[in-house]
Amino acid sequence: MYRADSPGRINLMGEHTDYALGYVMPMAINLYTVVHAQMGNTVRIYSQVFRDVHEFSISNQQKENNWSDHVRSVFWVLREEGHRIGGLKAIVGGDLPIASGLGSSASIKVAFLSLLNEMYGLNLLPVEVALLAKKAENKYMDVPAGISDPFSIVSGKKDHVLFIDTDTLNYSYLKFPRDWRLIAFYTGIPREVASSKYAERKRMAEEVLNLLGKHSSIYVNESELRTLPSLYRKAFGYIVRENRRVLEARDALRTGDLEDFGELMTTSHWDLARNYDVSSEELDFLVKKSVELGAYGAKMTGAGFGGSVVILTDSEKATRIAEGLTELYEERFNWEAEYHVVVPSDGVKVRRM
């Protein structure tokens, strides 16, 4: 019997920059997809959340348009890449909320890729697991997600944040100050990238890079956008500014400047909302009220259009702000809100039991 603990993730800075090959600052968090599995001839998976069972053969990974497609995509991508694997019997559970903007889609793929890597001796490196998870999401699930989610879920480190150049995949770890606190606050609106305007944003970014003759957004200056149509200029201007903010946030983290880091987060959110048009009324409400309640900063995390907000505070204020937000949010939107105080955690772990 094997067990995989695959974390979720939040993105502190760098939303929508990974598909433009820019900078990101994510971290793995202490909420997990947990999978218990053993070898088998076919694939038989049970979800403790959905309370249903799906079974399919290794050679047949046709979509069924339900949660099992995430697992089917893993078997598809491994066979597509020429890896020899067998089946498994698995129970899927854990405490990572599904479709909440905290990386659950990447987390389950990384969990099963890591399990199969261990079970069948595939000798995949962590970066290869991340790239396979991305390919499964892009090609099988038809979701044009970037590398940030699976990379952070594979490479997370306890008490540290990742800084990643998504062009080269060079990365470094930044110590997360012990007295800082992060609250992941779920809006209650599922964040479904496939049915959102995410693909439109990605296509726009690729078109701008092509027009400018640039490989990566980190080589673009705002002055170069003047010749572009106004919509492209407005949207891609956000990406250019966000790349700069990620670098500034890295400096603030290194010096432990809580106020500067929080201000960068909040500025990032309003740039996303006003110029990249990926926020929502609920996300904006949470950011605004978080700051009013004393948070140092707040922003949407993930693709947007719903999902969660990440709020930066300290150990003294965290509970008061979270509870105050819960009350305000339920009063405004008539929704029993959900939040988690999260910390930077290690990436996926597989162990034999």
- The strand pairing partners of 2, in sequence order, are 37, 352
Cα torsion 128, 96, 16, 282 to 10°: value is 170
Give the active site residues: 149
Task: Say how far apart CA 23 and CA 245 lie, in whole Å.
Answer: 9
Q: Report which of 13, 12, 101 is spatially closest to residue 282, judged by C-alpha positions.
A: 101
What value, to the nearest 5°, has the Cα angle with vertex 129 and ends 124 and 130?
A: 150
Q: Report which of 302, 236, 314 is spatially closest to residue 269, judged by C-alpha positions.
A: 302
* Residue 221, φ and ψ in degrees, nearest 5: -105, 150
Task: Say how far apart CA 308 and CA 191 lie, in whole Å.
Answer: 8
C-alpha dist (Å) from residue 221 to 93, 207, 224, 269: 45, 16, 6, 20
- The strand pairing partners of 47, in sequence order, are 52, 92
| DSSP code at position 344 | B
Task: Say how far apart CA 15 and CA 332 lie, in whole Å.
Answer: 27
Task: Say how far apart CA 163 and CA 218 lie, in whole Å.
Answer: 14
Task: Say how far apart CA 281 and CA 295 lie, in whole Å.
Answer: 19
- Please give the distance of CA 313 from its chain centroid, rounded to a whole number: 21
In sequence order, what DSSP letters do the residues of 184-252 get, joined into one string? EEE-SS---GGGSSHHHHHHHHHHHHHHHT-SSGGG--GGGGTTS-HHHHHHHHHHHHHHHHHHHHHHH
